[in-house]
Structure 1
């Protein structure tokens, strides 16, 4: 009997305040979608960092004399550079690319861009030494140690580029979180407003129930459940929005970069993990907001 009463009260309350209920569902959906977008940005930044960590290299470009006259790094100073780099603490491998190998690599890189491919064909490229290390934090040390050695024209550290790329995702994440906070505040205010209106419209029947012995918790539980039900629907819609965003937005905008292994792909598993995070957050916050409203603003 009590369960059927609660279900009936919740359904009547949702129908009676349908416009506020719909507004709360949609606001909850938008705020949780923005939060989910922020979490996906975090996940993508983490995956990008992990993805490029295994590909980060320190590159030393050799001067024109070495690039022109030493095709297999068997002469000085190239030979000594390779030997000393391999002895350096934390170095995993050192790879020498002569001018011809550098040209072939550049042509492969720009094979879809004829103008750039023709430009690199006509431009003599320097030979280079590519160094991989166990810890990316050691690259600056090796760059400083070998960057001014004889035979080296200049050096570059891929970690700086990766850090810049990750900072872009950090910015997107912060923007998404900022919007999510604003929308979450709006959702919480709507929940509080809905609970107050629902309690006000049923104040007479609640008063009668209290007179016949119903506890305060029992009379206010339907209002709390209304907020939770609305939050559940909002959470479901938010998860659906994230699932649709993957093929319709993420893959369309970044699909080519995913296909060319420039960035790691956002998978269904990533979205599932985010969904399992945002759905409980939406439901719990709705319940807490409804409880606080009933506790401090509704005295029947």
Structure 2
């Protein structure tokens, strides 16, 4: 009976403050949607970083006939000779570097030209000839963080025009995505603060509107806990609705936005967050919404009852 009475009081409060309840639901929905998006975005960044880090290679480009010898002292004698190519290969096979390398492959001019044709097509690639292509070594490391060792080993070696670490091109991308995640988190925090303040204000207004009822309950000996519980449930219920809407938005965004749209249009990214990741986020969002609402409502009504 007491549980039923508490629930009736909570539902009555929700009906009397329907406009404020809708505001709480909407603010909670928007803020927790940002939280869920930030969690999934950070998961996507981590997944992409792990995937590309494992596959990132170091490329050692040998001097070619079109190398600018004035700007590249190591190519002063022109195209790399067979002896210079063999020297680089022997260094890679030697004990000093081989311990760091998973494998490496040598790309001939013909292979480089075929790759160019695949990427640009026959018409655009026709401005270059096979003889103008680079010979190169593509090196996969056991630990990609050791790529600087390879870069230092071949920088300045005669016959080597350039040593490129693919990770140096990925780091700015990951940094930009991380900044975007921080921005989303910052917006979410501000919106959550707004939701907490709005819940507290709603509960205090509701308590003020029912001050006569509260006074009667005190006179008949009702405990503070009994008086507080309906108000806390009002805030929790409104926040739960907002959390449920945010969870639905996160799941819909993952299903339609990531799996339905991005996967088919961004082929160079092969690892995406999945529906399973989105489902894992759902209880986190609901827990955040309910806990913050309970704490905010409980604190607000306790302060009001003491005044």
| TM-score normalised according to structure 1 size | 0.90
Which of 270, 273, 278 is the equivalent residue of 1:266? 273
**Corresponding residue for residue 131 of structure 1:** 139
Q: What is the correspondence of 1:39-58 to structure 2 with a 5 Å cutoff?
A: 39-58=39-58
- 8 Å CA contact 1:63–1:153 kept in 2: the answer is yes
- 8 Å CA contact 2:25–2:241 kept in 1: the answer is yes
- 8 Å CA contact 1:56–1:159 kept in 2: the answer is yes
Residue ranges of structure 2 left out of the alignment (5+ in a row): 66-74
Q: Deviations over 1:76-132 (max 9, x none)?
A: 121221121233131111110011111222232345xx7655556689321110111
Deviation of 1:299 after TM superposition, in Å, equals 2.5
> Which secondary structure does the structure 2 equivalent of 1:77 belong to?
helix
Aligned partners of 1:233, 1:119: CA distance in 2, in Å? 62
Q: Deviations over 1:64-83 (max 9, x none)?
A: 2699787xxxx312122112
Q: Deviations over 1:40-70 (max 9, x none)?
A: 1111110110110121000011112699787
Q: What is the correspondence of 1:152-171 to structure 2 with a 5 Å cutoff?
A: 152-171=160-179
Q: Deviations over 1:110-165 (max 9, x none)?
A: 45xx7655556689321110111111111012101212212211011011112111
Q: What is the correspondence of 1:281-300 to structure 2 with a 5 Å cutoff?
A: 281-299=288-306
Residue ranges of structure 1 left out of the alignment (5+ in a row): none
1:100 aligns with 2:107: no
| TM-score normalised according to structure 2 size | 0.88
> Which secondary structure does the structure 1 equivalent of 2:60 belong to?
strand
> Which secondary structure does the structure 2 equivalent of 1:126 belong to?
coil
Aligned partners of 1:254, 1:117: CA distance in 2, in Å? 29
Aligned partners of 1:157, 1:292: CA distance in 2, in Å? 55
Aligned partners of 2:230, 2:263: CA distance in 1, in Å? 47
> Which secondary structure does the structure 2 equivalent of 1:109 belong to?
helix
**Corresponding residue for residue 151 of structure 1:** 159
- 8 Å CA contact 2:110–2:130 kept in 1: the answer is no
- 8 Å CA contact 1:86–1:93 kept in 2: the answer is no
Return closer, same or farther for 1:120/1:222 CA change in 2, 3 Å cut-off: farther
Q: What is the correspondence of 1:35-74 to structure 2 with a 5 Å cutoff?
A: 35-64=35-64
Deviation of 1:251 after TM superposition, in Å, equals 5.3
Return closer, same or farther for 1:232/1:95 CA change in 2, 3 Å cut-off: same
